[in-house]
Amino acid sequence: MDDIARFAAAGTLTSGAIPPYAPALEPLTAAEIRSVAAIVKADPAFGEAILFETIELMDPPKSAILSGVPASSLPRQARANVFRVEEQGVWKLTVSLDDKRVLSSQRFPSARPMIQLEQFMAIEAYVKADPRFIAACAGRGITDMSKVCVDPWSAGNFGNPDEEGRHLSHTFIWLRLYDDEAFYAHPVEGLNAVVDIKTGEVIRVDDRPGPAIPMREVNYDSKFLTDTLPPLKPLNVVQPEGVSFALDGHHITWDRWAFTIGFNARESITLHDIRFDGRPIVNRASLVEMVVPYGSPENGHYRKNVFDIGEYGLGKLANSLKLGCDCLGAIQYLDVNLNTMSGEVFTIEKAICIHEEDSGILWKHWDFRTERTQVRRGRKLVVSCICTVGNYEYAQYWYFDQNGEIEFEMKATGIINTVGCEPGQPSKYEREVSPGVAGQIHQHIFCARLDMAIDGEGNTVLECNTQTEVAALNPWGNAFFETETPLATETEACRRANLATARYWKVINPNKTNLVGRPVAYKLMPTNCVNSFLVPTGPSGSRSRFVENHLWVTAHAPEERYPAGEFMNHSDGSGGITDFVSQDRPLENTSVVLWHVFGLHHSVRPEDFPVQPCIRTGFKLMPTGFFDGNPAISVAETINTESRDAGAASSSCCC
């Protein structure tokens, strides 16, 4: 039986084989991006002056992928969001690369596009040229505008009459004393400007009283540091026989794992058709939103509730990674191609890092009767990228383990958003990190969209809780057990984590059973949930409704992509997850999507300055009856002959 026939019979693929549809999941090439732009500009409805927010692949239908339809039978289509300078609104387009035409167009008249990478420095220039801003700086003793740094934040939606009908950025200000100096040590408190991004007009300069600019230098650049520690001895990761994974375009196979790596300007990394030993687990996985609410109502800081994915686009801010620094060991990189506003292509070289890591002991047992030991070391495949959003770095890591686990980890580093305070007198909303410099309490709340496919599309989500047995059945006081409750509809599946009941959620395929007759399943481990402190009816809380639960489950719908809505700049809270679940569609034995909300609660420390050490959050997907036993039992027994006993006189191997 060939692979396509095996798909039709069982929905599985021989481990290591390249699926026939894999080319259809490849991200758009540079040539395809240019082609989409040309097709749109040639359409009389848009013309040469049209500007592009995003151009990305339109994913093939989920059912086609799971049934193994070859790429040659699938249309090659793209999504494009476009806008004009002279009018408000965004158009969502579907473009056929095969037929060279726009297939569909929908205008959203009140929508604003994401703030584009090309606009960052333009916003700074608009502000620094404004006479009111120059005068406000002069009032603080700043006369050299080249030393002023203006960060372009999204403006939110606060009902200000002079802001309605505009595409805005609300800015925060710092002072850089000289080239490469750490300017976040010098916040210019109380001074903000609001900019119309499209016209370049500074519509308002907010000049409030504030403390003196702190002038103490707190540098981190190696060119300024004179008291660095001596380096540790080298620790090299060497694979003398090469890597164990194989890339065919963007399709990767490693051990028994296989999937396709995608990338776009908004989400950054997307993973498609994730399979273990040929069996489907997840159709599509990505990080689809991140909101960063700050806790201070003072000055202009109440506006800091930024959606880093929906208002900027994480993918456009990806770093070009450096071998031996960002990525250690035997590395394979993927470049990414994205669009500019004009429809040209810009390429981020080495944006995606792929490598293997030792993951420690995979499993071990010592039989005390026979004194025989069996131990296996584990390895994991890592797919990662690092994106810089203004002051913060977000390093994303997808891990694939030999025991069938999938883990997502986010490492947050970079520089805290600093504010000015009177030395020794920070407000209750902040902590002083250097004399006169404070960091405000805030959160980073993420949402992952997991389009599940546990051995196919017929899936059901169960909520699992542990409880103590009732007294009548618990004479010794030790009895406890786990319950499973199906989440039958979308309104039933709006759930929060519960540490008291060790709650988790399990996705089963009720149509397929394992060796012991139970439905095959994977469970979502909500290991890093946070509670939002936003008032749900407030200007920021109403735009961030997805943070109200830790799990949302929806019926699969290709156009339901973002939990806070598609157009986040100046959004009003509509078009997101609460609208999706209000349909209350049935969820049992059907195609389901998990929306998992997790994050970081950041009470700032002095140790977070001048650059914050990595802090971590994430989640796991763990097989729970998906296999008939431990899938890692069959991992080969190996001994690493390069390991040495550092305290022994000889340099022989430890085994």
* pLDDT tens string 549-605: 999 999 999 999 999 999 999 999 999 999 999 999 999 999 999 999 999 999 999
For residue 96, give the nearest of 71, 76, 72, 74 by alpha carbon: 76
H-type helices in 112-253, by residue range? 120-128, 131-138
With bands split at pLDDT 50, 70 and 90, how would you rate the model's confidence at 9?
A: very low
**How much is the pTM?**
0.95
Q: How many domains does the chain have?
A: 1
Question: Of 6-20, 261-275, 361-375, 392-406, which range is least confident?
Answer: 6-20
531: CB partners within 8 A, 6+ apart:
none
In angstroms, the first-to-last Cα distance of the chain is 44
pLDDT tens string 102-147: 999 999 999 999 999 899 999 999 999 999 999 999 999 999 999 9
Is the pLDDT at 1 greater than 70? The verdict is no
pLDDT tens string 296-346: 999 999 999 999 999 999 999 999 999 999 999 999 999 999 999 999 999
Is the pLDDT at 654 greater than 90? The verdict is no
Per the DSSP assignment, residues forming a β-bridge with 90 are: 108
Is the pLDDT at 475 greater than 80? The verdict is yes
Residue type, 25: L
Per the DSSP assignment, residues forming a β-bridge with 93 are: 80, 105
- What 3-state DSSP class applies to 199? coil
Is the pLDDT at 405 greater than 50? The verdict is yes
Looking at residue 187, the DSSP 8-state letter turns out to be B
Q: Which of 273, 308, 401, 608 is flagged as catalytic? A: 308
Sign of the C-alpha dihedral, residues 345, 351, 354, 359?
Answer: negative
Q: What is the pLDDT of residue 647?
A: 86
Residue that has been written with the tokens 């907010």 in this structure: 206
Q: Which of 21, 392, 399, 522 is flagged as catalytic? A: 392
To the query of whether residue 2 is one of the catalytic residues in this protein, the response is: no
Looking at residue 255, the DSSP 8-state letter turns out to be T
Distance from C-alpha of 284 to C-alpha of 271, rounded to nearest angstrom: 6
Distance from C-alpha of 120 to C-alpha of 99, rounded to nearest angstrom: 36
Residue 21 lies in a domain: yes
Mean model confidence pLDDT for the chain: 95
In angstroms, what CA-CA distances link 470 with 476, 485, 503?
11, 19, 19
With bands split at pLDDT 50, 70 and 90, how would you rate the model's confidence at 18?
A: confident
Q: What is the pLDDT of residue 648?
A: 75
Is the pLDDT at 215 greater than 70? The verdict is yes
* CA–centroid distance for 648 within its chain: 46
Residue 46 lies in a domain: yes
Residue 196 lies in a domain: no
Residue 18 lies in a domain: yes
In 87-112, which positions are buried (b, 16+ CB within 10 angstroms) versus exposed (e)?
A: ebebbbbebbbeeeebeebeebeebb
CATH no. for residue 69? 3.10.450.40
For residue 296, give the nearest of 435, 150, 186, 428 by alpha carbon: 428
Mean pLDDT of 440-457: 98
Is the pLDDT at 13 greater than 70? The verdict is no
In 360-389, which positions are buried (b, 16+ CB within 10 angstroms) versus exposed (e)?
A: eebeeeeeeeeeeeeebbbbbbbbbbbbeb
Sign of the C-alpha dihedral, residues 323, 328, 332, 334?
Answer: negative
Q: In what order do the strands lie in the sheet with 51-57?
A: 51-57, 77-83, 90-96, 101-108
Residue type, 168: L
Per the DSSP assignment, residues forming a β-bridge with 91 are: 82, 107
Is the pLDDT at 265 greater than 80? The verdict is yes
Residue that has been written with the tokens 């009856």 in this structure: 625
To the query of whether residue 397 is one of the catalytic residues in this protein, the response is: no
- In 109-201, where do the E strands start and end? 148-154, 168-175, 191-196
Q: What is the pLDDT of residue 7?
A: 40
Pull the structure tokens for residue 410: 């986010």
Distance from C-alpha of 500 to C-alpha of 467, rounded to nearest angstrom: 9
Q: What percent of the chain has pLDDT over 70?
A: 96
Residue span of the structural domain in which 22 resides:
3-108
Give the count of alpha carbons within 13 A of 84, CB side only. Answer: 16
Distance from C-alpha of 305 to C-alpha of 509, rounded to nearest angstrom: 39
Residue 598 lies in a domain: no
Is the pLDDT at 84 greater than 90? The verdict is yes
- Phi, then psi, of 608 in degrees rounded to 5: -85, 5
Q: What is the DSSP string of 259-305?
A: EEEEEETTTEEEEEEEEETTEEEEEEEEEEEEEEEB---STTGGG-E
Per the DSSP assignment, residues forming a β-bridge with 117 are: none
Residue 277 lies in a domain: no
Looking at residue 184, the DSSP 8-state letter turns out to be G
**Would you say 380 and 357 are in contact if contact means Cβ atoms under 8 Å apart?**
yes
Distance from C-alpha of 602 to C-alpha of 294, rounded to nearest angstrom: 10
Mean pLDDT of 504-521: 98
Residue 97 lies in a domain: yes
Distance from C-alpha of 238 to C-alpha of 153, rounded to nearest angstrom: 43
For residue 602, give the nearest of 591, 587, 585, 614 by alpha carbon: 614
pLDDT tens string 532-544: 999 999 999 999 9
Distance from C-alpha of 348 to C-alpha of 117, rounded to nearest angstrom: 13
**Would you say 90 and 567 are in contact if contact means Cβ atoms under 8 Å apart?**
yes
Q: What percent of the chain has pLDDT over 90?
A: 94
Residue 556 lies in a domain: no
pLDDT tens string 225-261: 999 999 999 999 999 999 999 999 999 999 999 999 9
For residue 205, give the nearest of 219, 217, 220, 188 by alpha carbon: 188
Is the pLDDT at 2 greater than 60? The verdict is no
Is the pLDDT at 607 greater than 60? The verdict is yes
Pull the structure tokens for residue 219: 């540098």
Say how many C-beta atoms besides its own lie within 10 A of residue 463's C-beta: 20
Pull the structure tokens for residue 344: 């040209």
**Would you say 619 and 407 are in contact if contact means Cβ atoms under 8 Å apart?**
yes
Q: What is the pLDDT of residue 17?
A: 77
Mean pLDDT of 620-644: 95
